[in-house]
Structure 1
Amino acid sequence: MQETMAAEQFRATPLAGPSIRSRVVDELRARIISGELAPGTHLSEISLAEAFQVSRTPIREALKQLQTEGLVEIRSRVGTFVNAPSRREITELFQMKELLEGAAARLLAQRGRCAELDALRENVERADEAVTSGSIEGYAALVHEFHDLLIAGADNTKLSAHYQTLMNQLAYQRLVFTSLSQPNRPKQSDREHHRVLELIEAKDSESAERVMREHVRASHRALMAGLDATPPT
């Protein structure tokens, strides 16, 4: 069932100045990625203009930008909707995620000791606590942090830019809960993170890349199983 976005959902601070369009883009992007605006939600130009207290022109321009990023779908004579990726699109995005995160693990292993590596060690220790306590929400946040630290640790601006675009299209924050809802997946994921970290610390770049790619494939399988188990709305 499609949901229509209402102006009162936003309660946004009125925007002003030349950065209106970019601020609308940033606000909508954040709400889509977080899942606050669910896939299939109808985005009304009129409601958005009322919420942000601006004209429809910057709203229309912002929606076109988000269409370019793959976050919304503009249907001629129908309207604009939060993009709901197909199973094929999700699979293709995870294939790219596997390549980029595998490369990041390899590059980080080649760097050796750095601030991101220390942060990864702290991350997996906190993740252990979250899994032990059964905090799926807490562990999901740490999963997101782990992958972000891995990408940052690669110290490659081109890789990081491509990864950010990919993650926006994937809206991973709203999918990770589905993946982690599968039986024993949090514990398995936590063990996989530990193994990746061990290989990075050992400077075994080839094995770090291979195991990281295996981890992404395992996450993808869990996600698809979760989607299969989710009743249609």
Structure 2
Amino acid sequence: MTRTARKPGPPATRPQPPKLSIREKVYHHLRSRMRQGEVGLADRLVDHEIAASLSVSRMPVREALLQLKHEGLLEGTSRGFVLRRFTPTDIAQMFEVRLLLEPPAAASACESATLEGLAIMSQATEASIKAHESNDIIGYMEANDLFRTTWISQVPNRHLASMITRLADHVEAVRLATLRNPKFREWSLTSTRKITEAFMDKDVEAVQESVRFNLRKAVAAYYATQDSLIEQQNNSA
């Protein structure tokens, strides 16, 4: 009895991510600009101006701005929205909370990390090294952001991951200021390498310690940057 050869079916296709609404696209666009330092403390985000520049209606822009305000990233004024200003005490307290949350979150991410996630982290680390060596500050920030968002995406507790992301976004201006300094960027790169190696080795304890080391270095860089700015202001007075 001969069997009829089964014809091969169509190649499997990977599921496509859901399409974003206009509001979601505007939200991610604005958040990306804020994370890359393209929106400063002196800038005002006005819904009709943004809508015109993006060729969209005003309502989804307004909704995106309100979402960013709800997340604590923007403040509303009579003339649009501005970046929320945080005091040094605010920043210090945020880092204190992150020290409590991020090391154990990274440990859980290490245990559940996928091969795809680890590959992206490794690629982002290599991109960070190249950007640092060529003094490409924006390239470094983008690679570093990809690395961070990737390991956070591996955290099984989505509420915890969302909280960590929001806290990190609140100190984004601090991060941008410190990473412009080659010394502090070197600290950041050292931490990135340590965290990557620990993830690759599935060493939970090393992951926690590496993330803790990174946050402590970030705090030190923040205070050093603040002291430098104060000294410059005093000298120019």
TM-score (norm 1): 0.71
- Summarize deviations over 1:109-146 as a string: whole Å, max 9, x none: 32366221122222223322222333333222221111
How many residues were matched structurally?
210
1:196 CA displacement: 1.9
Matched, 1:66 2:107: no
Determine the structure 1 residue equivalent to 2:135. 134
Determine the structure 2 residue equivalent to 1:96. 97
Identity %: 26
1:70-219, aligned counterparts within 5 Å? 70-74=72-76, 80-111=81-112, 114-170=115-171, 172=172, 174-219=173-218
Runs of 5+ unmatched residues, structure 1 = 1-18
Say if 1:199 and 1:207, in contact at 8 Å, map to a contact too. Answer: yes
Please, what is the CA RMSD of the aligned residues? 3.2
Q: Say which SS state the counterpart of residue 40 (structure 2) adopts.
A: coil
1:44 CA displacement: 4.8
Runs of 5+ unmatched residues, structure 2 = 1-20
Determine the structure 2 residue equivalent to 1:34. 36
1:202 CA displacement: 2.6
Whole-angstrom distance in 2 between the partners of 1:112 and 1:35: 30
1:38 CA displacement: 1.0
Say if 1:182 and 1:222, in contact at 8 Å, map to a contact too. Answer: no
Describe the shift of the 1:114–1:100 C-alpha distance in structure 2 as closer, same or farther (beyond 3 A). Answer: farther
Please identify the structure whose Cα radius of gyration is greater.
Answer: 2
Whole-angstrom distance in 1 between the partners of 2:175 and 2:79: 31
Describe the shift of the 1:49–1:101 C-alpha distance in structure 2 as closer, same or farther (beyond 3 A). Answer: same
1:62 CA displacement: 5.2
Say if 2:110 and 2:154, in contact at 8 Å, map to a contact too. Answer: no
